[in-house]
Structure 1
Amino acid sequence: MQKVELLAPAGDLERLKIAFIYGADAVYIGGEIFGMRSAAKNFSKEDMQEGVNFAHDMGKQVFVTINIIPRNNEIEKLQDYLIELDEIGVDAVIVSDPGVFTIVKQTIPNMEIHISTQASTTNSQAANFWYNQGAKRVVMARELSFKEIKELRDNTPEDMDIEAFVHGAMCMSYSGKCVISNYTTGRDANRGACAQSCRWKYTLVEKGDEGEFKPVIDDVGPSFFFNSKDLCMIEYIPEIFKSGITSFKIEGRMKTAYYVATTVRAYRMAIDEYYRDPENWKFNPMWLDELKKGSHRDYNTGFFFNSPDANAHNYKSASYIRNYDFIGIVRGHDEENNLVVVEQRNKMNLGDEIEVIGPFKETMKTTIEEMYNEDGEPIESAPHARQIVKLKLGIEVFENYILRKPIVTINTL
């Protein structure tokens, strides 16, 4: 059977390691320059080297984004950066600009090149163009359907990889080519500084003959009419395989380690279940429940089945849905006292009923039976960011397991 790649985002070194531990085959990251997510923490040279070493020790890969649209003065810095990436041992670079592509081929000719979704590849002729220039992989424009991707796959070389986003935030503008952020804030979305102005509330008006402004649609107040729902394709794993997509890409280099863990874990389970018995694969609602326990917007299927309609947007709110708090990550064990050592991420309390997730494991439920500070003194709660606590949980857990608890909403009416 065709093996596919599960490709995860990593905004920093911790998230890179979590992605691999929870089942990703590869990650895409940004360095300190030339990436489309300048607000992400991103990777220093030292962290990138550690991340690449960690990946290669596990037989996995790291791809680096160089997908901004650069200016002349930035091109001058590119060669040295490329040589640095080659020395670190990254497995591929992701580019969208023909000039950057040319310099990569000239400077580090043996480096694998992936064509970014920002290049808006929507047809087999464009994909073949990039392949003939030396690209190994083309990332599909997000505006393609399964049918269009299958047609593209049937008319391109078999050894060309096809990558497509299957989960995460969607952009309301074509392949991310948006100028709203630049207009409203001076922050250029095409240079990694998007302010997500599409998530703001707007009123649509037109100017009348007398110079007055009136709503385009009567009785409609301000709304979030640019606000796209998130993409989620976990219910359609067989369709993704059959379309010829070889890399399942998750969006989210700005997202938390908890988001990376929950999302990778859910898709890993769904993909592995398909490998076990593709003819009888059935969607497990638990996978979607897991995705909903991370921070997300309402889900839809993007362009995969047809062009999105009004249901692809949420007009009422741009807020994320959060039903669970990521409260801690297991860092080790206090063997002498049979306690679990946890790094706190959100407040936890003695007696909390919590859930624990780990890679390739079913979700476990338990209660915090005992709680101690780092010095072994009993405590009632852990309110301080990243404080080290020791817990008695009554279940077997291992390093990098994640603790979460439901968010309790109090009705004050």
Structure 2
Amino acid sequence: MKRITKDTIELLAPVGNWDCLRAAVANGADAIYFGVDKYNARVRAKNFQMDELPEIMVYLHKYNVRGYVTFNILIFEQELEEARQLVNACIDSGVDALIVQDLGLVELIREISPDFPIHGSTQMTVTSAEAVDFLKPYDIEVVVLGRENNLKQIKTISDKSQLPIEVFVHGALCVSYSGQCLTSEMWGGRSANRGECAQACRLPYDLIVDGERKEMGNIAYVLSPKDLAAIELVPELIEAGVSSLKIEGRMKSPEYVANVVSKYRKAIDEYIAGRDFSPSEEEMRELEQSFSRGFTYGFLKGTNHKTLLDGTFPKSRGVYLGTVKKVLKDAILCQIEAPLKRGDGIVVDAGRPDQKEEGGRVYDIRKKGKKIDGEARDGLIEIVPGRHDVNLTKVRVGDKLWKTSDQQLERRLQKTFETEQAYRAFPLKVKVTGKAGKPLVTQWIDEEAEINVTVESSVLLEEALKRPLTVDFLGEQFGRLGGTIFELAEIELLVSGDVIVPVKVLNKMRREAVEQLLSKRQERQVYEKNSKEKAVVKRESNKEPAKLISLCRSMEQIEASCQTDVDYIYADFEFTKDYPAAVEVAQGYGKLIALATPRIHMPGEQGVLNGILRANPNAILVRNLGALQYFLDKNVEVPLIGDFSLNVANHKAVNMFLNRGLARVTPSYDLNIEQMVDLLEAAPTNEMEVVIHQHLPMYHTEHCVYCTFLSEGTDYTNCGRPCEEHRISLEDRVGFSHPVRVDVGCRNTVFNAIDQSGAEYINDFKDLGVAYYRVEFLEEDGRKVKEVLGLYREALLGKRNGTSVWKALKSTNQLGVTRGQLVKK
């Protein structure tokens, strides 16, 4: 099976079950991706089982389709052995690649096999050429970029990288950077980094500006993006260097897969053929019909915060029909803007998507009281719903109407994958040579699969007295390929003289050729396995005195921290131009200070990292792979400290980062106390740092709430920077108000309203030899900073137990305090 290369144009389809798999293959996918059991980022999907892998791969390779298994979650310490079993099963089954998030898992795969293909998941948060470079030592075959990269950035990354680049082109958008969303983990113990996203971004929030609720009308879904639809950008994406165009939707229906794959297949084929392509209105409506919250280019054409979301609904609506003009006794009068017919599904949108909505099947359509046969495409139409579907007394003039389903479209899509006879056939070229007294030699060439077989006749050729062998005659015999996956495309006849061969011999040769070609297509890909897995040397831990670290987000907090006995200060400012002043203050007090990088590093943002170096800190808190690689390339002399956003969840990831140049590592916030203890028991704890107090950073997003709702502008160039004048919080359904903060790249972080404390686990961490303990502040004043640091210092010195710290924090915090994700699930 041919691997993806930098010059490949691959259409990659999502598959959640066998029907979806068949739909993807039948409609032209070059590759599919699917989950196995629980170890993937869609655990709520049906998913496949490990013992199905050989059957899946044989089926896919029969049709020259690559199969990638998604292993795109964090792996906890106690799961490494199960992970090893799944990796081996994928290798043994000839899976074409594993899509991986966890860098510890990357290490594990390379211990098992030096050449098994690994694709870097979008969950790795790779958004720059430097981040791609960081992955090179592991022979990553493909890198999936973040959905936030625009076309210009994609081209920059592709031009600088020798690796194939994969980009999402269609489907649901996460509002948070993939791999950087902790909301589900914080609120429900269902981590997005474990495939258990609870979609809290699709919930309604009130906008609180400077402490006052902002009137937003019917806009409540301020974090719920529209769906990505980049079909019109296919030529630009390919020309930007994208090798793989990826469709989202492993929890979608087979009809969705068939619909979207076929549309993008056409777009790619038109580009390859050198023809201009633009989807028709009907094609776009069909895409909307399968699933749509409204379509957007996302960030591909650049940032426009005004077009990323609608804000009035969070779920699929389908095709917009129009607004209600009048409510009749038995019908709804609507000036429709899209085709409608009997049997279609509709829903009445009264602006309250969180409540039960009126909707159902269309029973009849009329125009001025007269029934319409077939389809109405536009005009003032009377829509008669099923008697028990819509309560017309609840429908109001001005309500929106949406077409939610189209049975005719669904039946048409189903027919594309109902039987394998409906699949396209693969062309064969046959070269025929021979002469009298010798066998007839046929070479059957399957160019798409890049294979060929040679079949000789079982009898010798004889001179023809009449009706010699001709191209037409051979075409008639060899072209009888019905019931196979092939079709005859070309015959080249190069025999010497006039010869003849029996028809039954030709038929036998045809059957043998098909059998051999199929066998070659379905040969299992063989990968090299290390005869003896590389021995991993455990890094030893040395007992060191516990060090207390204060992470500050204001100069007041820096000043207050310097007046305590903390061992280290971290500065994490919204505007990094203030970093030199923070360094001056801290070092003036004789304190060591580290400066935090942004969570995200995009092409062209090296200036921020250079500014950090120019501020002369004592260390740097590194939050992404791109920044880490940048500083490694610079051979910086100050220590580099890995933050939680590197998503370290097992000792292999710890060791990998330490071996690559980090001085110490902070575990992922996805670990509960048991998982944290498991990790710390296997990792060098004197090089580990745990966060014991913080407001958990839940969403980290390119979408700027400040620009969208407090400005007439569309991005940072014209928004007027309302973030410098105002403070926004998002109030949830329970009444908690979650602060939204902006970084130097205008990215937003939504912090949890309530402090999280790990005070009760400090003794566990001390017993395991953890050397570094971090306390993070958000909006606290100087007095509060000193109070909190004092409590934790007493706990680290053994002068106060964790329960005492917890109670003190709970009594003095207005909203109390939570144990957060550390609580055992």
Q: Which TM-score band applies after superposition, normalised by the shorter structure?
A: 0.7 to 0.9
In the TM superposition, residue 176 of structure 1 has moved relative to its aligned partner by: 4.5
In the TM superposition, residue 276 of structure 1 has moved relative to its aligned partner by: 1.6
- Matching residue of 1:154: 159
In the TM superposition, residue 292 of structure 1 has moved relative to its aligned partner by: 1.7
- Matching residue of 2:311: 315
| Two-structure CA RMSD over aligned residues (Å) | 2.7
Deviations 1:215-246 (A, max 9, x none): 0x245567011111111001112101110000
Matches of residues 329-344 of structure 1 in structure 2 within 5 Å? none
Q: Hey, what's the Cα distance between the residues in 1 that align with 2:227 and 2:64?
A: 31
- Matching residue of 1:301: 297
TM-aligned CA distance change 1:282 to 1:229, over 3 Å = closer
Q: Hey, what's the Cα distance between the residues in 1 that align with 2:54 and 2:161?
A: 34
| Larger of the two Rg values belongs to structure | 2
Check the 8 A contact 1:49/1:88 in 2, yes or no: yes
- Matching residue of 1:372: none
Matches of residues 93-112 of structure 1 in structure 2 within 5 Å? 93-112=98-117
Deviations 1:44-90 (A, max 9, x none): 12333322111010111100111111111111221111111111111
User: Which SS does the other structure have where 2:143 is aligned?
Assistant: strand
Deviations 1:170-217 (A, max 9, x none): 011122421222233331111111111111112233685xxxxx40x2
Matches of residues 1-400 of structure 1 in structure 2 within 5 Å? 2-157=7-162, 160-205=163-208, 214-215=212-213, 217-218=214-215, 220=217, 223-278=220-275, 280-322=276-318, 400=418
TM-aligned CA distance change 1:34 to 1:95, over 3 Å = same
What code does the residue aligned with 2:172 have? A
Q: Hey, what's the Cα distance between the residues in 2 that align with 1:186 and 1:236?
A: 38
User: Which SS does the other structure have where 1:252 is aligned?
Assistant: coil
Q: Hey, what's the Cα distance between the residues in 2 that align with 1:94 and 1:353?
A: 46
Check the 8 A contact 1:13/1:47 in 2, yes or no: no
User: Which SS does the other structure have where 2:206 is aligned?
Assistant: coil
Check the 8 A contact 2:22/2:417 in 1, yes or no: no
TM-aligned CA distance change 1:184 to 1:282, over 3 Å = same
Larger mean CA deviation between 137-146 and 48-57 belongs to 48-57
Q: Hey, what's the Cα distance between the residues in 2 that align with 1:302 and 1:81?
A: 34
What code does the residue aligned with 2:189 have? G
User: Which SS does the other structure have where 2:237 is aligned?
Assistant: helix
User: Which SS does the other structure have where 1:204 is aligned?
Assistant: strand
Q: Hey, what's the Cα distance between the residues in 2 that align with 1:53 and 1:15?
A: 16
Q: Hey, what's the Cα distance between the residues in 2 that align with 1:347 and 1:220?
A: 30
In the TM superposition, residue 256 of structure 1 has moved relative to its aligned partner by: 0.7
In the TM superposition, residue 251 of structure 1 has moved relative to its aligned partner by: 0.4
Check the 8 A contact 1:161/1:246 in 2, yes or no: yes
Larger mean CA deviation between 224-233 and 307-316 belongs to 307-316
In the TM superposition, residue 353 of structure 1 has moved relative to its aligned partner by: 6.3
The runs of 4+ residues in structure 1 deviating greater than 6 Å are 346-349
Q: Hey, what's the Cα distance between the residues in 2 that align with 1:398 and 1:248?
A: 21
Check the 8 A contact 1:232/1:300 in 2, yes or no: yes
In the TM superposition, residue 400 of structure 1 has moved relative to its aligned partner by: 2.1
- Matching residue of 1:380: none
In the TM superposition, residue 2 of structure 1 has moved relative to its aligned partner by: 4.7
In the TM superposition, residue 273 of structure 1 has moved relative to its aligned partner by: 1.3
Deviations 1:379-409 (A, max 9, x none): xxxxxxxxxxxxxx9xxx67628xxxxxxxx
Q: Hey, what's the Cα distance between the residues in 2 that align with 1:309 and 1:51?
A: 42
Q: Hey, what's the Cα distance between the residues in 2 that align with 1:399 and 1:231?
A: 25
In the TM superposition, residue 258 of structure 1 has moved relative to its aligned partner by: 0.9
TM-aligned CA distance change 1:269 to 1:132, over 3 Å = same
Check the 8 A contact 1:234/1:287 in 2, yes or no: no
Q: Hey, what's the Cα distance between the residues in 2 that align with 1:73 and 1:218?
A: 49
Check the 8 A contact 1:17/1:54 in 2, yes or no: no
In the TM superposition, residue 275 of structure 1 has moved relative to its aligned partner by: 1.5
Q: Hey, what's the Cα distance between the residues in 2 that align with 1:39 and 1:260?
A: 18
Check the 8 A contact 2:13/2:257 in 1, yes or no: yes
Q: Hey, what's the Cα distance between the residues in 2 that align with 1:235 and 1:272?
A: 13
User: Which SS does the other structure have where 1:174 is aligned?
Assistant: coil
TM-score normalized by structure 1? 0.74
- Say how many residue pairs are matched: 330
TM-score normalized by structure 2? 0.38
What code does the residue aligned with 1:224 have? Y
Q: Hey, what's the Cα distance between the residues in 2 that align with 1:207 and 1:80?
A: 53
Q: Hey, what's the Cα distance between the residues in 1 that align with 2:179 and 2:143?
A: 16
Check the 8 A contact 2:258/2:416 in 1, yes or no: no
Q: Hey, what's the Cα distance between the residues in 2 that align with 1:115 and 1:177?
A: 15
In the TM superposition, residue 287 of structure 1 has moved relative to its aligned partner by: 3.0
Q: Any stretches of 5+ residues in structure 2 without a counterpart?
A: 1-5, 320-339, 344-359, 364-372, 376-410, 420-825
- Matching residue of 1:368: none
Q: Hey, what's the Cα distance between the residues in 2 that align with 1:95 and 1:108?
A: 15
Check the 8 A contact 1:29/1:64 in 2, yes or no: yes
User: Which SS does the other structure have where 2:303 is aligned?
Assistant: coil
Q: Percent sequence identity over matched residues?
A: 34
Q: Hey, what's the Cα distance between the residues in 2 that align with 1:313 and 1:348?
A: 29
User: Which SS does the other structure have where 1:152 is aligned?
Assistant: helix
TM-aligned CA distance change 1:155 to 1:207, over 3 Å = closer
What code does the residue aligned with 1:260 have? V
What code does the residue aligned with 1:269 have? K
Check the 8 A contact 2:26/2:417 in 1, yes or no: no
Q: Hey, what's the Cα distance between the residues in 2 that align with 1:348 and 1:100?
A: 51
TM-aligned CA distance change 1:225 to 1:156, over 3 Å = same
Deviations 1:82-112 (A, max 9, x none): 1111111110001121110010111132210
Check the 8 A contact 2:125/2:179 in 1, yes or no: no
Q: Hey, what's the Cα distance between the residues in 1 that align with 2:22 and 2:50?
A: 16
Q: Hey, what's the Cα distance between the residues in 1 that align with 2:241 and 2:305?
A: 25
